[in-house]
Amino acid sequence: MIDLILKNYQDKINMRLDMFLAQTDKNYKDVVEASRYSLLAGGKRIRPILLLEFYKLCGGNDECAYNFACAIEMIHTYSLIHDDLPCMDNDDMRRGKPSNHIKFGESMALLAGDSLLTESFGVAARTVGIDQGLVVKALGILSANAGINGMIGGQVIDTLYDAPITEELLNEICLLKTGALIKIACSCGAVLAGANDEDIKKAELYAEKIGLAFQIVDDILDNTANEQKLGKPVGSDNRNEKTTMVGLLGLEECRKRARELTDEAICILDSFSADSTTLKELTKYLLVRDY
Amino acid sequence: MIDLILKNYQDKINMRLDMFLAQTDKNYKDVVEASRYSLLAGGKRIRPILLLEFYKLCGGNDECAYNFACAIEMIHTYSLIHDDLPCMDNDDMRRGKPSNHIKFGESMALLAGDSLLTESFGVAARTVGIDQGLVVKALGILSANAGINGMIGGQVIDTLYDAPITEELLNEICLLKTGALIKIACSCGAVLAGANDEDIKKAELYAEKIGLAFQIVDDILDNTANEQKLGKPVGSDNRNEKTTMVGLLGLEECRKRARELTDEAICILDSFSADSTTLKELTKYLLVRDY
């Protein structure tokens, strides 16, 4: 059931991403091709789906939120392209394919990342059918959480501190680097639907729980998964000498924490007055996903 | 007189940039330091001043537009940091100081650029005292002209095509790479002030003229200026084997074209009903600036 719901969302999101970053025959077509290569490489679209589901949970009932949903996915994709660059993690593979700079060269990968980031705000700003004040508010959340005090801050800490690092610092990295985009998804969904402050706060708290769970499950998969499904070498974070949750706490403790965080997240969903069945299914799915 | 006006604007802009990207003691403080290093390196702030002047020309009469003005300067700075990277122009000097990646390393320079770009949209979105619909419209213009069909597109063509290139292609690069941010400045200034479509069109046309003139003057200075004033080696574009306007047309023809474009830009300013004395002074200053 959840698979079908996800597939339906993914189709709609992919169709729009394909349209927002349409092919061109301009002299700068190469950067469009490079951007599309990573954007349309078949991610799970978890972040945009979370946004759309929170938008519905808080009373939104139409297609207006797809622009923002796609904007988050564009930001997510830019961050992957830049993180893979030689001066960062220097990763050659991503989602089972050569990473962007391997395929298109370093300068084009840099510019493709810059393009996706820049265009994401334009796509979000072209939201129609939602109060423009709410759109501006959500754009502020998008920038704040993708920026220095959010995702980029997490990437900076990840870059600066050599392993081994403390659990506290690793938690901070997770909350910022992985958690920030999930927080954008949940809180922008609520904000765009015109939710009250209490519901926005609950959306943020839910996002913190599953952001952390998401990173822990990622670490578990990185240690245990089938390489083909993972799309990159198993254990690559260990070989990069990064401290991971699994390295710090062990597999069993990680599985326990991921379950606990998932349970707490579901409790938060229960406190909303509207029906959250799909979101609960999605939350459970994130715990048991296999890539 | 124009020097005093510029100085007054520059002080106000620098004060706000310093505030928008305030120092921090967080674990990711290095990226803030790297971003501030380039942002507060003393540029002329031409783009934000153009925005503020067009805002005034079209009827805005308060301080509301400073957020957008600073956002453009942040985008301009990010583009310089990324353009200087080894995989792009590989420039070691900028504004008389070591370029960002020489000072902070490649990964921090990459992240500082990403930060400035991301935060710029947040700063713009935090605009108060202006109709939120106009803010959203201006954010769309910001993204569209800084993105693939604007500044980044120009950078892509500049990266892809080896010298010698045709005058037509060089014009396209100028209009996109240099012209796009100037277009943002003029058109966002007009849009935020609630200008009518005719005045917005005139602002865009003015931006095209001075964008091209600006690049021609840059090329002339790159060939003739005092190295200390220029802040980088004289003739560095020639040594990078890039086709420049001066290389293509010669110094005299370039000087003639810059004068003509400036005259045309001033004619456009005359067609506005409000007083454009300062903008005309600024337009003339751009022609005779010495760095």
Question: Which among B39, B142, B148, B192 is the top mutation candidate for probing chain A, defined by the most A β-carbons within 10 Å of its own β-carbon?
Answer: B148
List chain A pLDDT tens, one digit each, 291 residues: 899 999 999 999 999 999 999 999 999 999 999 999 999 998 999 999 999 999 999 999 878 999 999 999 999 999 999 999 999 999 999 989 999 999 999 999 999 999 999 999 999 999 999 999 999 999 999 999 999 999 999 999 999 998 889 999 999 999 999 999 999 999 999 999 999 999 999 999 999 999 999 999 999 998 887 666 666 666 666 556 788 899 999 999 999 999 999 999 999 999 999 999 999 999 999 999 876
- The alpha-carbon gap from A196 to the nearest alpha carbon of chain B, in Å, equals 20
Residue A97 phi, psi (nearest 5): -130, 160
Instruction: Return the structure tokens found at A282.
Output: 């999605």
A129 touches chain B (CB under 8 A): no
| Dist CA B61 CA B74 (whole Å) | 23
* Model confidence band, residue B223 (pLDDT cutoffs 50, 70, 90): confident
- The alpha-carbon gap from B284 to the nearest alpha carbon of chain A, in Å, equals 32
CATH fold label, A2-288: Farnesyl Diphosphate Synthase (1.10.600)
B244's torsion region: left (phi>0), alpha (psi -120 to 50) or beta? beta
Give the C-alpha distances (Å, rounded to integers) separating A44 from A95, A267, B99: 11, 24, 39
A165 touches chain B (CB under 8 A): no
Q: What is the pLDDT of residue A225?
A: 73
CB B190 within 8 A of CB B201: no
Neighbours of B222 (CB within 10 A): 20
CB A47 within 8 A of CB A182: yes
Residue A153 phi, psi (nearest 5): -55, -45
Contact list in B for residue A142 (CB cut-off 8 A) is: 121-122
Q: In the predicted model, is pLDDT for residue B239 greater than 60?
A: no
pLDDT one-digit tens code per residue, B197-221: 999 999 999 999 999 999 999 999 9
Q: What is the pLDDT of residue B3?
A: 94
Question: Which among B143, B151, B168 is the top mutation candidate for probing chain A, defined by the most A β-carbons within 10 Å of its own β-carbon?
Answer: B143
Question: Which among A23, A128, A148, A159 is the top mutation candidate for probing chain B, defined by the most B β-carbons within 10 Å of its own β-carbon?
Answer: A148
Domain boundaries, chain A: 2-288
Tell me whether residues A160 and B133 touch, CB distance under 8 A: no
| Dist CA A73 CA A68 (whole Å) | 9
Closest-CA residue to B246 (of B284, B216, B266, B270): B216
Q: In the predicted model, is pLDDT for residue B30 greater than 80?
A: yes
Choose between B167 and A234: higher pLDDT.
Answer: B167
Instruction: Return the structure tokens found at A213.
Output: 């769970």
A190 touches chain B (CB under 8 A): no
Q: What is the pLDDT of residue B95?
A: 87
Q: What is the pLDDT of residue A162?
A: 85
| Dist CA A181 CA A187 (whole Å) | 10
Number of CB pairs < 8 Å for A and B?
167
Of the candidates B118, B143, B160, the beta carbon closest to that of A119 is on: B143
The chain-wide mean pLDDT, for chain A, equals 94
Q: Is the dihedral of CA B72, B74, B76, B78 positive or negative?
A: negative
Select, from the ranges A163-177, B182-196, B214-228, B231-245, the one with the highest average predicted confidence (pLDDT). Answer: B182-196
Question: Which among A25, A27, A75 is the top mutation candidate for probing chain B, defined by the most B β-carbons within 10 Å of its own β-carbon?
Answer: A27
Closest-CA residue to B218 (of B112, B80, B118): B80
Residue A242 phi, psi (nearest 5): -95, 145
Q: What is the pTM of this model?
A: 0.96
The whole-number average pLDDT for the span B96-106 is 97
- The alpha-carbon gap from B205 to the nearest alpha carbon of chain A, in Å, equals 22
List Cβ neighbours of A86 (8 Å cut-off, separation of 6 or more).
Answer: A101, A106
- The alpha-carbon gap from B273 to the nearest alpha carbon of chain A, in Å, equals 30
Q: In the predicted model, is pLDDT for residue B232 greater than 80?
A: no
A186 touches chain B (CB under 8 A): no
Least confident of A45-59, B237-251, B261-275: B237-251
Q: What is the pLDDT of residue A228?
A: 60
Closest-CA residue to B10 (of B203, B218, B285, B287): B285
Select, from the ranges B25-34, B219-228, B230-239, the one with the highest average predicted confidence (pLDDT). Answer: B25-34
Q: What is the pLDDT of residue A234?
A: 63
B156 touches chain A (CB under 8 A): yes
CB A107 within 8 A of CB B87: yes
Q: What is the pLDDT of residue B229?
A: 62
Alpha carbon B126 to chain centroid, angstroms: 21
| Dist CA A245 CA A167 (whole Å) | 8
Tell me whether residues A118 and B32 touch, CB distance under 8 A: no
Q: What is the pLDDT of residue A46?
A: 97
| Dist CA A238 CA A242 (whole Å) | 6
B251 touches chain A (CB under 8 A): no
Q: What is the pLDDT of residue B238?
A: 57
A180 touches chain B (CB under 8 A): no
B180 touches chain A (CB under 8 A): no
Q: In the predicted model, is pLDDT for residue B6 greater than 90?
A: yes
Cis peptide bond upstream of B164, omega within 30: yes
CB B19 within 8 A of CB B41: no
Contact list in B for residue A121 (CB cut-off 8 A) is: 121, 139, 142-143
Q: What is the pLDDT of residue A223?
A: 87
Q: Cα-atom radius of gyration of chain A, to the nearest Å? A: 18
pLDDT one-digit tens code per residue, B105-152: 999 999 999 999 999 999 999 999 999 999 999 999 999 999 999 999
A residues 132..151 contacting B (CB < 8 A): 132-133, 135-137, 139-140, 142-144, 146-149
Tell me whether residues A152 and B31 touch, CB distance under 8 A: yes
Q: What does the longest C-alpha to C-alpha distance in chain A come to?
A: 53
A residues 16..45 contacting B (CB < 8 A): 21, 26-28, 30-32, 35
Closest-CA residue to B75 (of B227, B219, B149, B182): B182
Q: What is the pLDDT of residue B7?
A: 97
Closest-CA residue to B254 (of B264, B244, B265): B244
- H-assigned helices in chain B: 2-20, 29-39, 46-57, 66-84, 100-104, 106-125, 132-146, 151-160, 167-173, 179-192, 197-224, 227-230, 236-239, 245-249, 251-270, 277-288
Q: What is the pLDDT of residue B80?
A: 98
Q: What is the pLDDT of residue B227?
A: 61
Q: What is the pLDDT of residue A243?
A: 87
Nearest CA in chain A to B142: A122
